[in-house]
Amino acid sequence: MTISYPLMLPSAPAAQSFRLSIIRAQSVLASINGRQQIQRRPGDHWEGVMTMPPINDAQKAEWEGTLTALNGMVGTFTLPHPSPAMRGSAAHGVGVVQGGGQLGSMLATAGWPISTAGLFKRGDIIQVGNRLKIVLADAGSNLSGVVSLHVAPEIFAPPSDLTPIGILAPAGEFRLKEPKVDIQSNANGTHSLSFAVTEVML
């Protein structure tokens, strides 16, 4: 069977720990008088580390086969956010991107219940296309069901008009951060696995 990316990672066991954070494309410039200036560049993205609990031989085979099929950093896989629960009431609606060509930290969306406060809360996680975003400010809809969302990481690859906004099980497309995965086999017959991931940058 032909391998098609993005792959789905094995569903079991669940990760023992999963650290996911936004890496900022920033650098510090020092002026002559010693004052610092922060230089921002496009390219903010998610990176993380997933650590699995001890796994048995059958689970090792499934995980090792899937991760090897990625061909190092070439292939990609779908990865849900580790804490996707929605605090806002948008979980009861279906929204889409309103207008193509959007870049930066503001995202216009539509299709939500009209004139509703608290649809999104700061910290809510959403999926836009194949990317994860975190909502940075509470937001509600206007008379037309339009909601402007302040999100991070900033949008550098504009989603198409009418792209669905995923809110129930948001996931992004990732790849391995390094071209290898080490699996440690233990004397008690179990195996240990941990690997670093980085968001796909298109």
The predicted-structure confidence for 97-113, as pLDDT tens digits, reads as follows 999 999 999 999 999 99
Cβ neighbours of 13 (radius 10 Å)? 13
Please state, rounded to an integer, the average pLDDT across all residues of the chain: 91
CATH assignment of 7-81+172-199?
3.30.200
pLDDT band, very low/low/confident/very high, at 155 (cuts 50, 70, 90): very high
pLDDT for the residue 87: 77
Burial class (CB in 10 A: 0-12, 13-18, 19+), 188: exposed
Find the Cα–Cα–Cα–Cα dihedral 61, 75, 102, 49, rounded to 10°: 50
CATH assignment of 89-168?
2.40.30.290
pLDDT for the residue 32: 65
Nearest to 157 by CA among 146, 176, 147, 172: 172
Check residues 132 and 86 and name the one with the higher pLDDT. 132
pLDDT for the residue 48: 95
Domains 7-81+172-199 and 89-168 fall in the same CATH topology: no
pLDDT for the residue 90: 65
Q: Which tens digit of pLDDT belongs to each residue from 30-74?
A: 766 777 788 878 889 999 999 999 999 999 999 999 999 999 999
Q: What's the token pair of residue 56?
A: 């048995």
In degrees rounded to 5, what are phi and psi of residue 66?
-65, -50
| pLDDT > 80? residue 76 | yes
Q: Which tens digit of pLDDT belongs to each residue from 11-40?
A: 889 899 999 999 998 888 876 677 778 887
pLDDT for the residue 92: 63
Task: Indicate the pTM of the whole model.
Answer: 0.90
| pLDDT > 90? residue 84 | no
Burial class (CB in 10 A: 0-12, 13-18, 19+), 187: exposed
Query: Taking residues 80-87, what's their average pLDDT?
Result: 80
Domain ranges of the chain: 7-81+172-199, 89-168
Q: What's the token pair of residue 9?
A: 């990672």
